[in-house]
């Protein structure tokens, strides 16, 4: 089968690899029809993780079930399904509590909780930027899609990661109706966090970025764009909130945060959030931070540490929630919002390209080229 293979830093190509297949009786085999390129793929693409050469990328996957293992009960051949990017077992203590991003059994590394498709450090599973994907524990992990699956495919594929992840940022921050919310980062996840805050009836949603295409999209959904290349974003947020700061804040950038001049500061967004959020406010962090970053700009960040403004954070009595989204905690509900025409997350999609074009799509998305806000790769053979 064809798949997007990582060859080394900033080098991917579509190659023939061995077919994904049923390996255990609980597996489901999915013919992928839509698979997104994600901002977290870029950390791996840029060589800033230990992602192995020769592995297949892709953790935002949707497709049609073409084969099921002998122990699969609920999922049937022909079902259209969306796959959470995290792979859970369904029976460990964390999965049973809904914390499927921290499954205790699927990742063979005993020091790590949580597994995902085509993701550094999250188990040996190949990604779905390919013709087929093996889904472990298919009954647990597959989200069945309703009859409008084909018509709304670009919406439903966002339920694999970025829509639940954006939603999770607002949950971690504790967003309530009528809150003012500031989101740092207007990439796909940041836009989904701002969109989620809007769906939760926040009274004021602001988003900080500097790319005009992203800020335009934010404006389209009624979010206030804040351009941090024009002036200090903290000052802008304070000016819009009577000097108090936003009730809640979301971090949707991660450890490769950089200033408008292109210099990397892994602590930039976190410290800006502490300053931008009110006393006793909440901060949700879904941007990726890693325990080690050998390519980091200084000694501290190489060890996964940042100079954090602990004093101001403490004196303001704020709280922080962090980590990957437990996609299964939200994906049914978000699917139903899409089905009922209450949510349309595909507004962020800028490019629909065949899998064969993955290499150039990665280049453009990685360069944050104007207009490349979100890429959906389409299998060349629709089922
Ligand atoms: Zn993703
Ligand atoms: Zn589990």
Last residue of a domain, one of 322, 353, 369: 322
Measured in angstroms, how far is the CA atom of residue 363 from the centroid of ligand 1? 17
Residue 382 clears pLDDT 50, i.e. is over it? no
252 and 155, same domain (yes or no): no
Which residues lie at CB < 5 A from ion ligand 1?
A: 38, 40, 60, 161
pLDDT digits (tens, 9 = 90+) for 71-93: 999 999 999 999 999 999 999 99
Measured in angstroms, how far is the CA atom of residue 254 from the centroid of ligand 2? 26
7 and 91, same domain (yes or no): yes
Q: How many domains does the chain fold into?
A: 2
- The number of the ligand nearest the C-alpha atom of 85 reads 1
Inside any domain, residue 383? no
Indicate which CATH number applies to the domain containing 303.
3.40.50.720
For residue 311, what pLDDT is reported? 98
Measured in angstroms, how far is the CA atom of residue 88 from the centroid of ligand 2? 5
151 and 231, same domain (yes or no): no
The percentage of residues in the chain with a pLDDT greater than 90, rounded to a whole number, is 96
Measured in angstroms, how far is the CA atom of residue 266 from the centroid of ligand 1? 20
pLDDT digits (tens, 9 = 90+) for 279-321: 999 999 999 999 999 989 899 999 999 999 999 999 999 999 9
- The number of the ligand nearest the C-alpha atom of 159 reads 1
Q: How far is CA 311 from CA 1, 266, 270, 280, 314, in A?
A: 54, 18, 13, 14, 5
In the chain the first and final C-alpha atoms are separated, in Å, by: 15
Measured in angstroms, how far is the CA atom of residue 239 from the centroid of ligand 1? 33
For residue 383, what pLDDT is reported? 41
Mean of pLDDT values over 120-128: 95
For residue 345, what pLDDT is reported? 98
Inside any domain, residue 130? yes
285 and 351, same domain (yes or no): no
70 and 131, same domain (yes or no): yes
- The number of the ligand nearest the C-alpha atom of 252 reads 1
- 104's torsion region: left (phi>0), alpha (psi -120 to 50) or beta? alpha
190 and 256, same domain (yes or no): yes
- Of 48 and 101, which is predicted with more confidence? 101
Output the CA angle 164-53-3, nearest 5 degrees: 60
Measured in angstroms, how far is the CA atom of residue 123 from the centroid of ligand 2? 13
9 and 154, same domain (yes or no): yes
Confidence of residue 380 (pLDDT cuts 50, 70, 90): low
For residue 379, what pLDDT is reported? 80
Inside any domain, residue 120? yes
Residue 149 clears pLDDT 90, i.e. is over it? yes
pTM: 0.96
Measured in angstroms, how far is the CA atom of residue 288 from the centroid of ligand 2? 21
Q: Which domain holds residue 169?
A: 162-322
For residue 271, what pLDDT is reported? 98
142 and 201, same domain (yes or no): no
Indicate which CATH number applies to the domain containing 109.
3.90.180.10
Last residue of a domain, one of 322, 341, 365: 322
Residue 57 clears pLDDT 50, i.e. is over it? yes
- 189's torsion region: left (phi>0), alpha (psi -120 to 50) or beta? alpha
- The set of residues, in sequence order, having a beta carbon less than 8 Å from that of 11 and lying 6+ positions away, is none
Measured in angstroms, how far is the CA atom of residue 81 from the centroid of ligand 1? 17
CB 257 within 8 A of CB 291: no
Measured in angstroms, how far is the CA atom of residue 253 from the centroid of ligand 2? 27
169 and 153, same domain (yes or no): no
Mean of pLDDT values over 241-265: 96
Inside any domain, residue 218? yes
Question: Sign (positive/negative) of CA torsion 126, 129, 134, 139?
Answer: positive
250 and 351, same domain (yes or no): no
Based on C-alpha coordinates, what's the Rg of the chain?
A: 20
151 and 13, same domain (yes or no): yes
170 and 295, same domain (yes or no): yes
Inside any domain, residue 32? yes
Measured in angstroms, how far is the CA atom of residue 315 from the centroid of ligand 1? 34
Last residue of a domain, one of 306, 322, 338: 322
pLDDT digits (tens, 9 = 90+) for 151-163: 999 999 999 999 9
pLDDT digits (tens, 9 = 90+) for 176-231: 999 999 999 999 999 999 999 999 999 999 999 999 999 999 999 999 999 999 99
Burial string for 176-203 (b: 16+ CB within 10 Å, else e) reads: eeebbbbbbbbbbbbbbbbbbbbbbebe
Inside any domain, residue 34? yes
Measured in angstroms, how far is the CA atom of residue 233 from the centroid of ligand 2? 40
- The number of the ligand nearest the C-alpha atom of 57 reads 1
């Amino acid at each position: 089968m064809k798949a997007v293979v990582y060859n080394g830093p900033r080098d991917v190509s579509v190659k023939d690899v061995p077919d994904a297949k049923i390996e255990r009786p609980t597996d489901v085999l999915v013919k992928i029809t839509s698979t997104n390129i994600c901002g977290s793929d870029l950390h791996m693409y840029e060589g800033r993780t230990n992602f192995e050469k020769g592995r297949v990328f892709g953790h935002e996957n949707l497709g049609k079930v073409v084969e099921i293992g002998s122990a699969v009960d609920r999922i049937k051949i022909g079902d259209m399904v969306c796959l959470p990017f995290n792979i859970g077992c369904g029976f460990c203590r964390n999965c049973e509590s809904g914390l499927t991003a921290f499954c205790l059994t699927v990742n063979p590394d005993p020091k790590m909780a949580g597994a995902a498709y085509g993701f550094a450090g999250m188990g040996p599973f190949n990604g779905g930027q390919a013709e087929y994907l093996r889904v472990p524990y298919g009954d647990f992990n597959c989200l069945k899609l309703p009859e409008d699956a084909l018509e709304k495919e670009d919406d439903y594929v966002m339920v694999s990661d970025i829509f639940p992840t954006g939603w999770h940022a607002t949950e971690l921050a504790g967003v309530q109706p009528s809150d003012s919310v500031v989101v740092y980062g207007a990439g796909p996840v940041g836009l989904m966090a701002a969109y989620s805050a809007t769906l939760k009836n926040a009274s004021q949603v602001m988003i900080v970025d500097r790319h005009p295409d992203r800020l335009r999209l934010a404006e389209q959904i009624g979010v206030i764009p804040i351009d941090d290349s024009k002036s200090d974003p903290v000052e802008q947020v304070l000016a819009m909130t009577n000097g108090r700061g936003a009730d809640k804040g979301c971090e949707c950038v991660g450890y490769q945060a950089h200033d408008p001049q292109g210099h990397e500061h892994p602590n930039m967004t976190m410290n800006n959030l502490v300053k931008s959020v009110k006393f006793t406010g909440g901060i949700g962090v879904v941007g990726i931070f890693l325990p080690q970053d050998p390519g980091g700009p200084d000694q501290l960040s190489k060890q996964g540490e940042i100079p954090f403004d602990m004093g101001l954070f403490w004196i303001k009595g704020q709280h922080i929630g962090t980590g990957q989204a437990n996609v299964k905690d939200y994906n049914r509900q978000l699917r139903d919002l899409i089905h009922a025409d209450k949510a349309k997350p595909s507004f962020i999609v800028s490019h629909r390209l065949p899998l064969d074009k993955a290499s150039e799509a990665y280049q453009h998305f990685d360069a944050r080229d104007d207009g490349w806000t979100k890429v959906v790769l389409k299998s060349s053979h629709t089922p």
